[in-house]
Chain A
Amino acid sequence: MSDTNVLPRRLPLPAALRRWNITVGALILTVVVAAALLAPWIAPYDPFRMASGPRLSPPTAAHWFGTDELGRDLFSRVLLGARASLGIGLAAVAAGLAFGVSFGLAIAFSPARLKGFFLRIVDVIYSFPDTLLALALVAFLGPGAENATLAIAISLIPFYARVTYGLAAVERAKPYVEAAEIAGNGVPRIMRVQVLPNILQSLIVIGSIGFSSAILSAAGLSFLGLGVQPPSPEWGSILASGRNYIARAPWILIFPGVAICLTVLSFNLIGDGIRDLTDPKNRHRRA
């Protein structure tokens, strides 16, 4: 029987899709990703061309999301903006996860004395809100999409390191890891072969949580003019350009805002769903 094991070896996909939150999250995410990938082909106008229509036009049949203060088509800009937002998010999460997980594992396997020292450092950095940390880093590195990505990646590292440490420390104390240590396996191999596969599912969940935070940070930095530079569209920078027209042309803020909300929501839903699915406490028990 499959339900006697502690954890399923991999997520059973049909069971995953029976969870409403995963289904809804995946649906939204699919739309956003498709928009980002297909933007150049499905955008009705050149997102950079000014005066594609009248300036500050409300949503019409010709311009679904309306136009901005320079007469650019907002729908096309939001579509292309998805590329930047998702791209920054993906790159930052990938880099943050790679370093964060490595640090977390290293701390879990470091000698007791160093462990406390490293953890305190991580805790101090972790105590800053990650967007604030990213902001400080960009201020130091200088504005731009690449630096914003780097800053967001760095700001995610403490979170990933802390969570990975917690998960790895629990596994490390288990006899199967001790058995591998006794056998004389090197620490890197024990991390890779013994510990990592057993914490991977939890890492996927925290990866998705970090993704939503990264997208928010990217939008926030671009909004402040520190991330993606104009005229390139990004959801945060579109919001920034529209804030002077909030009374006359609220659609400039509404559509990118909704895009940010939905994307963040989709990652949170998927993350929660995977957590529900993998949490042994949520599965029905046998006596």
Chain B
Amino acid sequence: MADIAPIVEIRGLTKHFRAAGREIRALDGVDLTLAPAETLGIVGESGSGKSTIGRILAGLETATDGTVRLGGQDLRPGLSAARVQMIFQDPYASLNPRLPIGLQIHETLRGNGQTDRTVNLARAAQLLARVGLPADAASRYPHEFSGGQRQRIAIARAISTDPAVIVADEPVSALDVSIRGQILDLMRAMKGRTAYLFISHDMAAVASICDRILVLHRGKVVEQGTTAQIIGNPQADYTRALLDAIPRIGRRRTGTGAKPLETRA
């Protein structure tokens, strides 16, 4: 891996927010690299700062400190366009309710400089077919689709510009379990040359799709390694606690492990 130039290289990434007069350190010196076509999972609980990394990479937020290099260039406004796409958690809010699906993909391609509407609509129809949607999907509106279908549309939209990186922020968390697997399979199948930054609190989903996993806790990297290493031989107590907490078939809770919680808000 070391001899391939990384597509994303993040050093000392720091992000501070001010909320209610208090300064919150969402990210506190995060380093990570993402190789081309690699799938890196970022796992953490609420407040870990995991979403902020993806949003900075996608250009939706700016870092307080640190460097983000995308394809060897320092991140600056406009650089992320078309090279980074995003898949969001809520499939109901991530599509424009008043725009037919085909035109939403047209808009995405248009942002990438492909302005020919006829060509774009043909491409949209092709992409929608590839993600397993009916032929007339392009002319329909988001409310005519289920949550899982909408997430398929979001995937089609994300891959439409053939981006270098797709930031997938909790892409299956809002879906029923029976749909989750299908969407993960689809993401795997649609991957191609694209690298994924797969952000989730769900260790099982992350482990099932990622090559490497980075565990984040309160803005700091706790541990990172290959999926096999993190799952099979976690080093940090926090990683072990995360793994242990996942509900499993075949384990019974006795009610004796109800330990006191930390009180912090």
> A residues engaging B (CB < 8 A)?
4-7, 9, 174-185, 189, 193-194, 197-198
Contacts and interface: CB of A to CB of B under 8 A. Distances in A.
A197 B107 contact: no
A8 to B, nearest CB: 9
Interface in B145-163: 154, 157, 161
Interface in B88-125: 88-90, 92-99, 104, 107-113
Nearest to B90: A175
A182 B81 contact: yes
Given A175-B88, A197-B98, 11 more contacts: A6-B92, A9-B141, A175-B89, A176-B93, A179-B154, A183-B112, A184-B113, A185-B111, A193-B96, A193-B107, A194-B107
A-B pairs, top 4 by smallest CB distance, nearest first, are A184-B81, A5-B143, A183-B111, A184-B111
Interface of B: 58-60, 78, 80-82, 84-86, 88-90, 92-99, 104, 107-113, 141, 143-144, 154, 157, 161
Contact of B80 (A175, A182, A193, A197): A182
B93 A183 contact: no
A243 B58 CA distance: 66
Nearest to B92: A6
B102 to A, nearest CB: 13
Contacts of B88: 175, 178-179
A175 B94 contact: yes
Contacts of B81: 182-184
Given A4-B143, A183-B107, A176 B96 contact: yes
A205 B94 CA distance: 26
A181 B82 CA distance: 10
Nearest to A2: B143
A176 B59 CA distance: 15
For the complex, would chain A's binding face be called helix, strand, loop or mixed by DSSP majority? helix
Q: Is the interface of B mostly helix, strand, loop or mixed?
A: loop
Contacts of B89: 175
B86 A5 contact: no
A176 B108 CA distance: 11
B107 A6 contact: no
B68 to A, nearest CB: 15
Contact of A182 (B58, B109, B141): B58
Contact of A194 (B58, B86, B92, B96): B96
Nearest to A197: B98
A176 B98 CA distance: 11
A198 B96 CA distance: 8
A180 B108 contact: yes
A20 to B, nearest CB: 28
A56 B111 CA distance: 69
A154 to B, nearest CB: 31
Given A183-B111, A185-B111, A176 B94 contact: yes
18 contacts: A4-B143, A175-B88, A175-B89, A175-B90, A176-B95, A179-B157, A182-B84, A183-B107, A183-B111, A183-B161, A184-B78, A184-B81, A184-B111, A185-B110, A185-B111, A189-B107, A197-B99, A198-B96
Given A4-B143, A185-B107, A197-B99, A179 B94 contact: yes
Contacts of B112: 183-184
A21 B20 CA distance: 43
Contact of B93 (A5, A175, A180): A175
Contacts of B143: 4-6
B259 to A, nearest CB: 36
Nearest to B89: A175
A4 B142 CA distance: 11
B86 A6 contact: no
B59 A182 contact: yes
Contacts of B154: 179
Contacts of A194: 96, 99, 107
Contacts of B60: 178, 181-182
A251 B141 CA distance: 56
Nearest to B79: A184
Nearest to B94: A175
A7 B92 CA distance: 12
Contacts of A9: 98, 141
B108 A183 contact: yes
Contacts of A174: 93-94
A39 to B, nearest CB: 39
Contacts of A197: 96, 98-99
B84 to A, nearest CB: 7
Contacts of B90: 175
B108 A179 contact: yes
A197 B81 CA distance: 24
B166 to A, nearest CB: 10
A115 to B, nearest CB: 15
Given A4-B143, A9-B141, A175-B93, A180 B98 contact: no
B51 to A, nearest CB: 11
